[in-house]
Amino acid sequence: MPNLENEETVDFNVGQKLIKVRPESIRPDGILILSVIEDIYRAARRWEASSIGIVFPEIVTREGGNVLPGGVVMPVHVTLQDGWKIQCPDNCNKVEIYGHISSSDSQQPFALRPDGHRITYEELSKKKAEPLNAVFIISIMLLVFAEIVIARWIYDSPCEMEPYSAFLIVLFTLVQLIGHSKNA
C-alpha cells in the first residue's frame, strides 16, 4: 500500500504498519525531538479520522492526562497498537521524546532504520527539560557578568577586580557541574 501522508512530522505506511518520520524533521546533528502527544498521538488521530484511516483499527491509545485535585496533571502514556512501530530515517541517530511511549507487543516502539541500524531514544519530561534551561540561562548571565568584570579589571585597576573575576569563574564552573550532574 502507498504511504498515506499528513501534514505533520510523520507518514503512515499501512502495509508495513510503520509510522515513518520524515527526513526533514531530523536536525543536522542527527537528533529528532519528538512529542508523543503532538507528533504521534494527535497525528494518528487525524489520520484515523481521514477517509482511508477510518477503515483501519486504532493505531495508538492514550492513558493519563487527567487533572487531579490540586491541579496536578497525570502523565500521559501513549501505546502503539497491533504491531505498529515508529521508523526513523537513515539520517537519525538519536530520538529525544517528550512523553512516554510503549508498544502493545512489549517490544521497543521503534523499528530499525531502513539501513538496518537501531536508533537510541530517551524519554524526557518537561520537568527534566526545565532545569537544563535554567542552567543554560544562569550560565549565560554569569558569563556576561564575568566578561564585564574582566573588561573593567583589564582597563581600570587589576588589583581591585581580580578577586571578583576569580569568584565569577568559580561560580560559572560550579553551575556547569551542577547542571551536568543532574543530566547523568
Tens digit of each residue's pLDDT (9 = 90 or more) over 30-63? 889 888 888 999 988 888 888 777 777 888 989 8
CA 37 – CA 56 distance, rounded (Å): 20
SS3 143: helix
Q: Residue 134 — very low, low, confident or very high, per pLDDT cuts 50/70/90?
A: low
Q: Is the pLDDT of residue 3 over 90?
A: no
Tens digit of each residue's pLDDT (9 = 90 or more) over 69-87? 877 778 888 999 989 999 9
CA 137 – CA 46 distance, rounded (Å): 37
Q: Is the pLDDT of residue 129 over 80?
A: no
Side-chain-facing half-sphere of 61: CA atoms under 13 Å: 9
Torsion angle of the four alpha carbons 105, 106, 110, 111, in this order, in degrees rounded to the nearest 10: -50
> What stretches of 16-175 adopt beta strand conformation (E)?
18-21, 31-35, 60-63, 77-80, 85-87, 94-98, 100-103, 120-124
Task: Enter the pTM of the model.
Answer: 0.62
Share of the chain above pLDDT 70, in %: 76
Q: Read off the pLDDT of each residue in 11-22 and give the average, rounded to a whole number.
A: 90
C-alpha cell at 53: 484511516
